[in-house]
A and B are shown apart, each in its own frame.
Chain A
């Protein structure tokens, strides 16, 4: 009897996208090896807020993908894999003046058009629903049925559940093409040549040089703050608080923010631990420092939303670097010129939400199955690719 050997999948990058790909590929029967230049969750995944949220998505393919992204979280939670790491909660989008009210209203129409469950809260009813909110906030749209997950926790769970091996400190420098044209048979890495039948490029910003797509992928830094535990204050805030400005800074609405400087968009997220996560900025740089100007500005705005945050201490500041694309949509699909190389990168500020779904799509592509969502808006071929040197 012939013994069939398992197909070997090598995943470049052990962020949330790589980890989710590992999980679904190993369930699909692949022997999976993950290669990371540093360590799991050392990129954007380990320095992110964790909104698993439809609320902040731009109407169109991103909003539709996010709806399926949240579903995937629920499925994995149901399967026990995300037990204790996925917290279901609402997002409250807050308007502070008439102009913001109008922006929110238009966004609400798009959300409910996609079947998202919304509630409008005004005046006293709002303050009964969300405690400790500033009285200056008059109305909020509650987006129900979403949640929060910490990127590094999700990544760790997925890797453990996949049983994949992880090579830390292993940088992939290039591809080796096979004798058979149109396929890749090995990766050139800092730890030597590694053979594989299937390669998944999930290296975040590191994917750019491997793909020859340096101009299509750009770093976008975000600064984030974490407070000490404040359980009493935390308990009164039922969900994430998102200022209308956040949507605008993220280009999620039709009203774009102008200017090339850094953008601020406030989110106050009550964490499971009783801490608060406060974000964030969008800055066109890959440098990972945090500065007093930005931190103070975020805190001033956070205190304007939740005055009692004054009583709490700031524990940590950190920054992460998102991988952005020119059109705001990620790259998911086959890499042109190879029949056994898939790419999944460019998730900007949405990869925590979309990571698990993307892992599932990667395994569907690997097995030639129909994909969970229509991938044409995410086709990597929309950016001019250079031929990859052998």
Chain B
């Protein structure tokens, strides 16, 4: 593979608009995504074998038409099924080609990381049981296979995405028995009014909430899931309302979701060589429209940098999107701590290594003032296969409850590293440019 001027990682709205902008400026671009086609989280295209279900409001579908035309017009082509595994200490990007089982190292002058956001899921007793998944995971399955899971489904957590999933499940023929929402947006009229300043968000909110209402899906606000148990081959989910009212649901599936956060795990960033910048939801989770603008911005910064010109000013539209997202966030802010300090000791925190809340408490009690790195090494939190993707935020929140350390960031547990995800040794030792040899040059 030839060394490009710029490596763009990700083919969601941010990556598409970055790659197109760079190509239009005449730079050589290597544009990769771990998936085989562009779209990203929001415009995820169904796999070839299944039929597409049209999802989302018109604003979403319009964006996809626009982006599609944009990259087709510039002729930039996606190198699919290629995972970015990180950057080594020499500034070399390590790319894993899944289809051929090989790995390539490239040196780019600049790198734009547009790897999107990931879901947050809070720990709850029983959240590791089979039948529990994330809302995003269920959405991906829906979009890719075109069919909903069988049996009763409960959607629970926090934020507007739970409504989006409920709508999509209903459209696919299996509406959830209920949507449980930890916050109570109807109790915050002033924030709801503020939302009116963003007509697009109002449009999306109306799109999803009217569909939830039409499908007669109960949207239960001010509800927390406090326990999930196996019960006669199904799941028994216990929820508590703000006033203490307990309601139990028996379902086959529960989809959990507690908001999204930038997917920055292990990722480098910096002004050194290569010049690495983040764009879209992986820089700041502002949604798909902002991601498109931000991708273009990132490309312009790179172009200016490579040409030795001054950096362009940030786009004013990002401020408006930030205000809108802030409003949405306050509307959906749950009461109390996100990660409750009183979780039972046997609640799993790290699903990879089976470490519990109790394990963390024991460690903190034995080592007063312990640093995040020691929590990681000695507690084995953020040490497993997912490298902290699922537990680092939650462990950091519980460390803060512990009180002695002050604010703790998940980065202190996950750090900057490569590989950012586990990588097959077989593919790491096979160079794509010389697949017969397993000896690096």
A residues sitting closer than 8 Å to B (CB atoms) are: 38-42, 46, 152-153, 156, 159-160, 166, 168, 227-228, 287, 289-293, 295-297, 299-300, 302-303, 309-318
Selected A-B contacts with CB under 8 Å, 14 pairs: A38-B371, A39-B371, A42-B371, A46-B377, A160-B366, A166-B367, A292-B88, A293-B440, A297-B440, A300-B440, A310-B426, A312-B425, A313-B424, A316-B419
Cβ-Cβ contact count across A and B, 8 Å cutoff: 97
**Looking at the complex, which one of B366, B378, B417, B429 makes contact with A316 (CB distance below 8 Å)?**
B417
- Across the A-B interface, give the 8 residue pairs with the lowest CB-CB distance, nearest first: A289-B89, A313-B422, A39-B371, A296-B440, A310-B426, A291-B88, A152-B377, A292-B88
Least CB distance, A225 to chain B, in whole angstroms? 9
Verify if B373 is at the interface (C-beta below 8 Å from A).
yes
Mark interface residues in B132-148 (1 if CB within 8 Å of A CB, else 0): 00000000000000000
A292 B92 Cβ-Cβ under 8 A: yes
Q: A39-B373, A153-B378, A156-B367 are in contact. Are A314 and B425 (CB under 8 A)?
A: yes
Verify if B112 is at the interface (C-beta below 8 Å from A).
no
Least CB distance, A222 to chain B, in whole angstroms? 13
B88 A152 Cβ-Cβ under 8 A: no
CA distance A346 to B405 in the complex (A): 32
Best-buried of B366, B385, B429, B438 by chain A (most CB within 10 Å): B429
Q: Which residues of A contact B428 (CB under 8 A)?
A: 295-296, 299, 314
Least CB distance, B272 to chain A, in whole angstroms? 12
Verify if B275 is at the interface (C-beta below 8 Å from A).
no
Least CB distance, B83 to chain A, in whole angstroms? 12
Q: A156-B374, A296-B440 are in contact. Are A314 and B419 (CB under 8 A)?
A: yes
B residues sitting closer than 8 Å to A (CB atoms) are: 88-90, 92, 94, 105, 366-367, 369-371, 373-374, 377-378, 385, 387, 417-419, 422-426, 428-429, 438-440
Least CB distance, B73 to chain A, in whole angstroms? 35
B105 A314 Cβ-Cβ under 8 A: no
CA distance A153 to B370 in the complex (A): 14
Q: A41-B374, A299-B428 are in contact. Are A315 and B89 (CB under 8 A)?
A: no
CA distance A81 to B26 in the complex (A): 65
Closest chain A residue to B353 by CB distance? Answer: A273
Q: A41-B374, A287-B89, A295-B428 are in contact. Are A315 and B438 (CB under 8 A)?
A: no
Q: A153-B378, A228-B385, A299-B425 are in contact. Are A290 and B418 (CB under 8 A)?
A: yes
CA distance A160 to B90 in the complex (A): 39
A300 B385 Cβ-Cβ under 8 A: no
Q: Which residues of B contact A309 (CB under 8 A)?
A: 425
B425 A317 Cβ-Cβ under 8 A: no
Closest chain B residue to A157 by CB distance? Answer: B378
B426 A311 Cβ-Cβ under 8 A: yes
Q: Which residues of B contact A156 (CB under 8 A)?
A: 367, 374, 378
CA distance A316 to B377 in the complex (A): 13
CA distance A38 to B374 in the complex (A): 11
Least CB distance, B350 to chain A, in whole angstroms? 13
Apart from A39-B371, A314-B423, 8 more pairs, CB < 8 Å: A40-B371, A152-B374, A291-B88, A291-B90, A309-B425, A310-B425, A315-B422, A317-B417
Q: A310-B425, A312-B425, A316-B417 are in contact. Are A290 and B371 (CB under 8 A)?
A: no
Closest chain A residue to B416 by CB distance? Answer: A289
Q: Which residues of A contact B385 (CB under 8 A)?
A: 228, 315
